[in-house]
Amino acid sequence: MNAITTLQAPALERFIARARGDVSVLRGDLPTRAVEAWHYTSLRDVAKVPFEDAPDADFEAARALIDAHFPADLNMARAVFVNGRFTPDLSTGLEAFDIAAFSPGSGAMARPERDAIAGINAALAQDGLTLRVPQDVDAGRLALISVDVGQGRFSTHPRHRIVLEDGAALSLLDLNFGSGAYLSNPVFEIVVGDRARLTHAKVQDEDCEAFHLALVYADVATRGLYDSFTLTMGAALSRHEVHAGLLGGHATVHVNAAQLLDGDRHADLTSVITHGNPDCVSRQTVKNVLLDTSHGVFQGKIYVDRIAQKTDGYQMNQALLLSDRAQIDSKPELEIYADDVRCSHGATVGALDEEQLFYLQSRGIPRDDARAMLVRAFLTDAIALIEDEGMHTLLDAAVDAWWARRS
Amino acid sequence: MTMTDFLTVTNLRARIDDNGTPKEILRGLDLEIPPGEVHAIMGPNGSGKSTLSYVLSGREEYEVTEGSVRFKGQDLLALEPDERAALGVFLAFQAPVELPGVNNANFLRTAVNAVRRARGEAELDAVGFLKAVRAETKRLHMSDEMLKRQVNVGFSGGEKKRNEVLQMRMLAPSLAILDETDSGLDIDALRIVADGVNSLRGPDFSALVITHHQRLLDYIHPDRVHVMAQGRIIHSGGPEVAHELEAKGYARYLQAAA
Ligand SMILES: Nc1ncnc2c1ncn2[C@@H]1O[C@H](COP(=O)(O)OP(=O)(O)O)[C@@H](O)[C@H]1O
Ligand SMILES: [Mg+2]
């Protein structure tokens, strides 16, 4: 092993050349696996590519992709971003929402000086959803659709800012898909006010040649709820990284996820949940279904501040390996400075149960259908954790579609 | 031996890999069940009764090393478990398997429609299925609430057995193998289960009832009773065999076979 700790990155040189804003956040190189936070996920393949500005959107291609991914009967307002740009012609039902024009400048919550991926977004973001849900308003459901489509190697860096004022509510369906060998690099800055409730259901189904590096910063105030679920199925390499802060008493955060991977895909779910106040609750159930030579990563850190007494933290990572060449890396981490806390974590790895398979087959169910049923069963309790039940059907359908098309 | 062309098991030998060493469990078993008959198998623990039921229904971990099983003119051993189910084989498990995360009604409907599809019959829609299943749960004195639960999860022993009988009735088998379905049932449940079997009796329904107890056979009257020991059928006779076993135990058959 040589002691390279940074990647000499054509990607970064190109990012610097493309950046219109502050490039200081881009000085330095991409982290290598010698950096603890990137131990299980290598950015080598990303660093090699000099990603260009996204081409002009091909509306017909984008529309076709949306039709393929977004159930036609889904009656939901939608904000559509094609190649990182808000696209009014494909968006609908937004009149009811308080959406402001995008303003550049590095976000208040993202920490570009500490995180290279946030830095890239800070330097290159040109658009994003800036949404405010006013006090005590339940804004209902909104689909945020991000489509990347085009030839060549390009990257998009949307930055979304979502603020729920005290007592507000929103259910956000965050869909990500596309066609091409692009890098999708979205950053979310989310503020959940007192007693406010945000559901954030994400589906990442990017092209199998694409990269997806997402960062979510969510601050939750007193008695607020950030209820998130991330379904990852796509991209060659992806990471969904969440930094959630419990900033008021009795606040709750759910960072649940399922990673369904086939082929040679690599997906990483990384989270840092900071209990900064007493009586807060964090819940995390992450399920992995791994086929072929795929590789799942879970890194979950729960940090409990000295003053965060009565913290209730739970973390579970489970992997179903459907091939003996699939791989899971799991790194739970508890860092606790308060003395009166309840934190538990666990991990399981296993294959499908032959006895269960036989039971189903003996009832006439063909083996592949039986496997599908057990995979669905494995995911059921995680999907059921989303508090907006309307999202369950949608995610179930996405899981079914994934199973039906997998290689 | 007459060829009835229903179920004919000839010189069946099967083994299992027991932590690296092959262990022979079925050692030359012969059995013949004609259409429309109910046969019972009785035998001491460990004689291979459950193994026989698994081999007939297609559990992969048991390796058949010799012999044959013909069912309705086909080589049963060449078929996948689901193909056997479609052909009419049903096993009520001695220890029904729990399926966390699988809804009982969905499971049952998936199974019924898979079998109907394979048999070339029309699938049941949600309404048709519900009607059919309600009629059966009523007959078996089961609450519809059980349909909403996860398959066998948190079921009592008796509930699991009833759930097996419910599946049997919904799947309309022509050969039902009931592996100690009576164990763990109180007398009322036993009657209900027996009725669930008896009401299927007819020229197109045969059953192989594995039991330790005469008690069940008081309600399901077998046409023949087989005594099994050490992987073979060592004695066959009429219903009186069960009474003799109940009164005198297995010893005399075991000695006779030795
Ligand atoms: N999966 C298995 N692994 C090892 N031994 C087994 C297995 N299944 C059955 N056996 C052994 O085979 C013999 C017969 O078992 P079984 O068929 O369950 O008998 P019965 O149902 O008559 O009680 C027993 O000695 C049992 O321990
Ligand atoms: Mg047994």
Confidence of residue A5 (pLDDT cuts 50, 70, 90): very low
pLDDT for the residue A133: 98
Q: Which residues of A263-296 are buried (b: 16+ CB within 10 A; e: fewer)?
A: eebbbbbbbbbbbbbbbbbbbbbbbbbbbbebbb
Q: Give the 3-state secondary structure of residue B92.
A: strand
Question: Is the pLDDT reported for residue A236 higher than 60?
Answer: yes
Count the Cβ atoms, other than its own, within 10 Å of residue A336. Answer: 16
Question: Is the pLDDT reported for residue A210 higher than 50?
Answer: yes
Q: How far B244 CA sits from the closest chain A CA (Å)? A: 34
For B91, the closest chain A residue by CA position comes to A362
Rounded distance between C-alpha atoms, residue A226 and residue A220, angstroms: 7
Please check whether residue A231 is in contact with residue A202, taking contact to mean a CB–CB distance below 8 angstroms.
yes
In B, which residues are within 8 Å of A380 by CB distance? 101
Question: Is the pLDDT reported for residue B24 higher than 80?
Answer: yes
Q: Mind listing the pLDDT tens digit for each residue in A37-89? A: 999 999 999 998 999 999 998 999 999 999 998 887 788 999 999 999 999 99
Rounded distance between C-alpha atoms, residue A71 and residue A259, angstroms: 21
Rounded distance between C-alpha atoms, residue A260 and residue A270, angstroms: 16
Please check whether residue A265 is in contact with residue A235, taking contact to mean a CB–CB distance below 8 angstroms.
yes
Q: What distance in angstroms lies between residue A281's CA and the mean position of ligand 1's atoms?
A: 48
Rounded distance between C-alpha atoms, residue B103 and residue A131, angstroms: 39
Q: Please give the residue that has the higher pLDDT: either A18 or A236.
A: A236
pLDDT, average across residues A139-155: 96
Q: Mind listing the pLDDT tens digit for each residue in B113-145? A: 999 999 999 999 999 999 999 999 999 999 989
Please check whether residue A392 is in contact with residue A386, taking contact to mean a CB–CB distance below 8 angstroms.
yes
pLDDT for the residue A107: 62
pLDDT, average across residues A115-121: 89
Please check whether residue B27 is in contact with residue B197, taking contact to mean a CB–CB distance below 8 angstroms.
no
Q: What is the ipTM of this complex?
A: 0.96
pLDDT for the residue A105: 67
Q: Taking CB atoms and an 8 Å limit, are B57 and A354 in contact across chains? A: no
Angle between helices B187-198 and B157-171 (to 10 degrees): 10
- For chain A, what is the mean pLDDT? 92
Percentage of chain B lying above the pLDDT 70 cut: 98
Rounded distance between C-alpha atoms, residue A343 and residue A326, angstroms: 30
Chain centroid, CA B240 distance in Å: 22
pLDDT for the residue A1: 35
pLDDT for the residue A75: 84
Q: Is A369 on the interface with B (CB under 8 A)?
A: yes
Question: Is the pLDDT reported for residue A240 higher than 90?
Answer: yes
pLDDT, average across residues B66-73: 96
Question: Is the pLDDT reported for residue B45 higher than 80?
Answer: yes
Q: Mind listing the pLDDT tens digit for each residue in B50-61? A: 999 999 999 999
pLDDT, average across residues B145-153: 95
Segment among A6-15, A366-375, A382-391 with least mean pLDDT: A6-15
In B, which residues are within 8 Å of A320 by CB distance? none
Locate the DSSP E strands across A276-358: 281-290, 295-304, 312-321, 327-336, 342-350
Q: Highest mean pLDDT: which of A48-52, A140-144, A377-381?
A: A140-144
Please check whether residue A184 is in contact with residue A211, taking contact to mean a CB–CB distance below 8 angstroms.
yes
pLDDT for the residue A154: 97
Assigned token pair, A401: 């579609």
Ligand 1 pocket test: which of B12, B23, B26, B55 has the largest number of ligand atoms within 8 Å of its C-beta? B23
Please check whether residue B88 is in contact with residue B94, taking contact to mean a CB–CB distance below 8 angstroms.
no
Percentage of chain A lying above the pLDDT 70 cut: 96
Chain B residues with a Cβ under 8 Å from any Cβ in chain A: 57-61, 80-82, 84-86, 90-91, 93, 96-97, 99-102, 107, 110-112, 114-115, 118, 167, 171
pLDDT, average across residues B160-175: 95
Question: Is the pLDDT reported for residue B74 higher than 60?
Answer: yes
| First-residue to last-residue Cα distance in chain B | 23
Question: Is the pLDDT reported for residue B2 higher than 60?
Answer: no
pLDDT, average across residues A124-132: 95
Whole-angstrom CA distances from B183 to A106, A207, A239, A273, B90 are 70, 55, 52, 51, 18
Q: Taking CB atoms and an 8 Å limit, are A373 and B102 in contact across chains? A: yes
Ligand 1: atom nearest CA of B52 is 17
pLDDT for the residue A16: 87
Q: Give the 3-state secondary structure of residue B233.
A: strand
Please check whether residue A239 is in contact with residue A267, taking contact to mean a CB–CB distance below 8 angstroms.
yes
Radius of gyration of chain B (CA): 18
pLDDT, average across residues A7-18: 82
β-bridge partners, A204: A176, A232
**Domains of chain B, first to last:** 7-97+173-257 (3.40.50.300)
Q: What distance in angstroms lies between residue B51's CA and the mean position of ligand 1's atoms?
A: 6
Segment among A16-25, A195-204, A397-406 with least mean pLDDT: A16-25
Confidence of residue A4 (pLDDT cuts 50, 70, 90): very low
Count the Cβ atoms, other than its own, within 10 Å of residue B129. Answer: 17
pLDDT, average across residues A289-312: 97
pLDDT for the residue A3: 37
Q: Give the 3-state secondary structure of residue B105.
A: helix
**pTM more than 0.80:** yes
User: What are the sequence ranges of the domains in chain A?
Assistant: 4-357, 358-407
Chain centroid, CA A125 distance in Å: 18
Question: Is the pLDDT reported for residue B30 higher than 90?
Answer: yes
For A268, list phi and psi in degrees, rounded to 5: -130, 130
Residue A245: enclosing H or E segment and its boundaries? strand A237-246
Question: Is the pLDDT reported for residue A2 higher than 50?
Answer: no
